[in-house]
Structure 1
Amino acid sequence: MDELFSRAALGPLRLRNRVIKAATYEGMSRGGIASRALVDFHRRLAAGGVGLTTVAYCAVADEGRTFEHQLRLVPESCTMLRELTRAVHDEGGAVSLQLGHAGTFSKVRGPNGRAPRGPSFGWNAYGVAAGLPFARAMDEQDVDRVIASFGDAASRAAELGFDAVEVHLGHGYLLSQFLSPATNRRDDRWGGSLENRMRLPLAVLERVRASVGRDLAVLVKTNLRDGFPGGLELDESIAIARAIEASGHADVIIPSGGFTSRTPFFLLRGGLPLDRMADAQPEWISGAAMRVLGRAIIDRYEFEESFFLPLARELRRAVRMPIALLGGLVSREGLVKARDEGFDFVVLGRALIADPELVLRMQRGELERTRCNACNLCVAETDIAGVRCVL
Structure 2
Amino acid sequence: MDVETTPDPFAPTRLGPVRLRNRVIKAATSEGRSPDGLVTDDLIDFHVAFAEGGVGMTTVAYCCVSEEGASAPGQIVMSPAAIPGLRRLTDAVHAAGSAISAQLGHAGVVAPKKLTGVTAIAPSRFINPTSFAYCREITRDEIRQVTEQFAATAQVAIDAGFDAVELHFGHLYLPSSFLSARINRRKDGYGGSIDNRSRFVREIASRVREVVGDQIGVIAKLDMDDGLPGSIWIDEALRTAQLLDGDATLDAIELTQGSSVYKPMYLFRGDVPVKEFAAVMPAALRPGVRLAGKRVMGSYPYRDLYMLDAARQFVPVVRNTQLILLGGITNYDHLRTGLREGFDFMALGRALLREPDLVNAMIADHGTRSRCNHNNKCMVTVFGRTHCVLDPVQRYGDATRR
TM range (shorter): over 0.9
What is the distance in 2 between the residues matched to 1:189 and 1:2? 42
Contact conserved, 1:219 with 1:252, CA < 8 A, in 2?
yes
Per the alignment, in what secondary structure is the counterpart of residue 37 of structure 1?
A: helix
Counterpart residue type for residue 376 of structure 1:
N
**Which residue does 1:381 correspond to in 2?**
381
**Equivalent position to 2:119, from 115, 118, 123:** 115
What is the distance in 2 between the residues matched to 1:190 and 1:64? 20
Tell me how far 1:188 sits from its aligned partner.
1.1
**Which residue does 1:310 correspond to in 2?**
309
- State, as a whole percentage, how many aligned pairs show the same letter: 38
**1:325-377 C-alpha deviation (Å, 9 max, x unpaired):** 10010122111111111111100001111111111111111752100011101
What is the distance in 2 between the residues matched to 1:88 and 1:28? 16
**Equivalent position to 2:104, from 93, 99, 104:** 99
Contact conserved, 2:59 with 2:101, CA < 8 A, in 1?
yes
Q: Is 1:24–2:29 an aligned residue pair? A: yes
What is the distance in 1 between the residues matched to 2:345 and 2:15? 9
TM-score (ref. length: structure 1): 0.94
**Which residue does 1:275 correspond to in 2?**
275
Cα 1:264–1:371 change in 2 (3 A) is same
Cα 1:152–1:32 change in 2 (3 A) is same
Per the alignment, in what secondary structure is the counterpart of residue 136 of structure 1?
A: strand
Cα 1:126–1:172 change in 2 (3 A) is same
Extract unaligned runs of 5+ from structure 2: 1-5, 392-402
TM-score (ref. length: structure 2): 0.92
Per the alignment, in what secondary structure is the counterpart of residue 60 of structure 2?
A: strand
Cα 1:218–1:101 change in 2 (3 A) is same
Per the alignment, in what secondary structure is the counterpart of residue 113 of structure 2?
A: coil
RMSD of aligned Cα (Å): 1.7
What is the distance in 2 between the residues matched to 1:257 and 1:199? 20
**1:273-300 C-alpha deviation (Å, 9 max, x unpaired):** 112122234x444545423321232211
**Which residue does 2:353 correspond to in 1?**
353
**Equivalent position to 2:17, from 12, 18, 23:** 12
**Equivalent position to 1:49, from 40, 49, 54:** 54
Tell me how far 1:34 sits from its aligned partner.
2.2
Cα 1:176–1:5 change in 2 (3 A) is same
**Which residue does 1:390 correspond to in 2?**
390
Tell me how far 1:159 sits from its aligned partner.
0.2
Cα 1:215–1:288 change in 2 (3 A) is farther
Cα 1:88–1:368 change in 2 (3 A) is same
What is the distance in 1 between the residues matched to 2:382 and 2:118? 28
Extract unaligned runs of 5+ from structure 1: none
Contact conserved, 2:130 with 2:296, CA < 8 A, in 1?
no
Cα 1:212–1:368 change in 2 (3 A) is same
Counterpart residue type for residue 120 of structure 1:
S
Tell me how far 1:36 sits from its aligned partner.
1.4
Q: Is 1:207–2:207 an aligned residue pair? A: yes
Cα 1:378–1:110 change in 2 (3 A) is closer
Q: Is 1:124–2:128 an aligned residue pair? A: yes
Contact conserved, 1:118 with 1:135, CA < 8 A, in 2?
yes
Cα 1:279–1:31 change in 2 (3 A) is farther
**Which residue does 1:227 correspond to in 2?**
227
- 1:236-251 alignment, distance < 5 Å: 236-251=236-251
Cα 1:324–1:349 change in 2 (3 A) is same
What is the distance in 2 between the residues matched to 1:178 and 1:209? 20
How many aligned positions are there?
Answer: 385
**1:223-281 C-alpha deviation (Å, 9 max, x unpaired):** 11111320111111111111111111100111101111112111110011112122234
What is the distance in 2 between the residues matched to 1:69 and 1:292? 29
What is the distance in 2 between the residues matched to 1:58 and 1:362? 30
